[in-house]
Amino acid sequence: MARSVRNVFSNLGADFPASVVVFLVALPLCLGIALGSNAPLFSGLIAGIAGGIVIGFLSGSQLSVSGPAAGLTAIVAAAIGKLPAFEAFLLAVVLAGIFQVFLGFLKAGILGDYIPGAVIKAMLAAIGLILILKQLPHLVGYNADFEGDESFRQPDGSNTFTGIFKALNYILPLAIAIGLISLGIQIVWDNILAKKAKFFKLIPAPLIVVLVAIGINQWAMIYNPSLALPAHALVSIPVAESLGGFLSFFMFPDFSYISNYQVWISAATIAIVASLETLLNIEASDELDPYQRVTPTNRELKAQGAGNLVSGLLGGLPVTSVIVRTSANIHSGAKSKMSAIMHGMMLLLTVALIPKMLNLIPLPALAAVLIYTGFKLAKPAIFKQFYRKGFDQFIPFVVTIVAILFTDLLVGIMIGCLVGLFFVMRSNFRSAVFVVNDENNYLFRLRKDVSYLNKPIIKRKLAQVPENAYVLIDATRADFLDRDVVEVIEDFIISAPLKNIKVELKKSAYKEQGFSHIEGPLKASA
């Protein structure tokens, strides 16, 4: 216990600045995702608080940060629309949390281990590109699409690319000025100032960005009101005038809807999708972790379930591990889970005590923070690195990125996995069957597991053997031979005399390899 307390304080110098960055990233995302889900704005903040504090304490991940996720927006909006009341939806969130706890006990976390590394890294790069593309309209003051949207098709009828062009017709001069200044501050802070003095590492650049942006807009409001940002270009948190008013923002599930089958369907859908997204993000966060720590995935599912249980009981949206917040956390230098916990505490304290001050923050400044985070995830060097690895790695990487950009996260990952599986099978074809010839002598070497998928290539290669040839089929290195493959080889041996082909079969275990009824001209050796 004493050791863990010492670790908390020893890492505080890194974790506290990182928690400030995550807080500033999470604030607009919590509000935007609630807005995009057709849910009360405060429900997004509750989810962010539960994701930070509850999951932060229970999770085995040191750097993952949880909260309301864009990937659940469409599912949440559909569930709210189908259910008779928001309180019924909250019950679905509670049940989803219970389902996730059971999934953890059933050890369903192993599913995340089957995602190819190239697909995980492509997901990170794709999220980075989405952040840049989706935040460009917010950078210039156009906020038709909600903050945190990751889908190609937007609720306003535009898509990721047309939304950028449409934003050009609604540019606010002060918004683009604040956005560019905010980007400049982060670039100078990280690449020049932080390298010159340790003092600058202790103060997160996004905090300076927010303070400078507030100052610029307040100056405009005093000296040139026509230039100041309108209300839609500022953070908008519900403000309560009293403690009772603040407590009224919290809503509670209505358990009288427990017999409604739509509640159970919504709960199962949320649990499955939230669990899949969490496992993907956990794999990604472990990839980004500079200390290469491995998160226990079954424990993570239980922690996520507990977070959803608490969020639903208090009136919040469902939560998952979120790669945007996680990457911001890691790139800001966090070392332990205290960063995630402190960001949740900051959300709770600020929305309770100083919501009016938060409502002074210009959205273009926060958009600049997200764009800079996106650039760190999608640096050109990452694309060069995968290109050098070869096309079997580069093509799944690029296809996954394109698929995520033009669909959404889960669909893109599924497409990427299918492409990755194709290259795995293609690689297996090449390594499992080795064919070489010298004049009229042919060697067929079967290695590892030779499945029915290898049947076409073996059949084709055997058919290409010319008359009067000598063929050696070496199966001594094959751990497994599918019955279909054995039949192809047996058929070739039986028909070989018709072309005056001499065949020799080498095998390590005659019966085990399945060659049980070969007759005719065959020289077999063990």
Out of 366, 394, 428, a domain closes at 428
Domain identity same for 468 and 410 = no
Q: Helix 117-139 and helix 160-167: axis angle, to 10°? A: 20
Distance CA 429, CA 449 (A): 10
Distance CA 400, CA 379 (A): 16
pLDDT number for residue 118: 86
Domain identity same for 177 and 288 = yes
Q: Is residue 433 part of a domain?
A: no
Domain identity same for 15 and 138 = yes
Task: Read off φ and ψ for residue 450, nearest 5 degrees.
Answer: -105, 105
Domain identity same for 132 and 218 = yes
pLDDT number for residue 237: 92
pLDDT number for residue 521: 38
Domain identity same for 180 and 254 = yes
Q: Is residue 434 part of a domain?
A: no
Domain count, the chain: 3
Question: Taking every pair of C-alpha atoms in the chain, what is the biggest distance, in angstroms?
Answer: 101
Domain identity same for 70 and 124 = yes
Distance CA 224, CA 222 (A): 6
Q: Determine the residue type at 336.
A: S
Q: Is residue 463 part of a domain?
A: yes
Q: Is residue 43 part of a domain?
A: yes
CATH of the domain at 456: 3.30.750.24
pLDDT number for residue 390: 85
pLDDT digits over 465-474, tens only?
999 999 999 9
Q: Is residue 508 part of a domain?
A: yes
Out of 398, 428, 458, a domain closes at 428
Domain identity same for 387 and 271 = no
Which parts of the chain register pLDDT below 50? 1-5, 509-512, 517-526
State pTM to two decimals.
Answer: 0.83
pLDDT number for residue 195: 85
Domain ranges, residue 167 = 2-381
Domain identity same for 316 and 400 = no
Q: Is residue 26 part of a domain?
A: yes
Helix spans in 322-451 (H)? 323-331, 338-353, 355-358, 363-377, 380-389, 391-406, 409-432
Domain identity same for 373 and 280 = yes
Q: Is residue 36 part of a domain?
A: yes
Domain identity same for 369 and 414 = no
HSE (CB half, 13 Å, CA atoms) of 507?
17
Element (DSSP H or E) covering residue 360: none
Q: Is residue 37 part of a domain?
A: yes
pLDDT number for residue 518: 46
Domain identity same for 396 and 474 = no
Domain identity same for 21 and 105 = yes
